[in-house]
Amino acid sequence: MKPVGQSAPPGRVQMKVRLSSVELAELKALASRDHVPVNQLVCSIIARELAAADSASGSVPDESAVREMAILIAVELVLKLQEVSIPGGGTLSRRLLEDAARTAIERLETVGLSLQRDPIR
């Protein structure tokens, strides 16, 4: 790390950190293991933590995920209505419900995978 008296590179700021001797030793050992300078290791750790905090705060489902959930709810309500209004509706609904459930599970898995790949939309 640069002494406090020297200026930081353009676009960067300098920061002073106080560590215990044990923390400093662990930090130096980690930097040595990764074959990087201590200041580069600290910068990468900070960047990684900030990125993780940003992705956690941006975990609101996107519009397509909300639309898929609304479709699933609508299908379930139609099947419930069919059960009470059509003779034999319960049997027919059970047959359709199995297919709808399989499709719903596939859709939820697809949406889940999509959100895991691109959590910020």
Q: What is the pLDDT of residues 7-55, one digit of tens each?
A: 656 777 888 888 888 888 988 898 899 898 888 888 888 888 887 776 6
- Percent of the chain whose pLDDT exceeds 70: 79
Alpha carbons 67 and 113: distance in angstroms, whole number: 16
Per-residue pLDDT, averaged over 78-94, amounts to 74
Cα distances from 90 to residues 78, 86, 95, 105, in angstroms, run: 12, 8, 9, 22
Q: What is the mean pLDDT of residues 75-100?
A: 74
Q: Which of 19-23, 72-76, 102-106 has the highest mean pLDDT?
A: 19-23
* Residue 3 to residue 46: CA distance in whole angstroms: 20
What pLDDT, on the 0 to 100 scale, is given for residue 120?
53
Does residue 65 surpass a pLDDT of 80? Answer: no
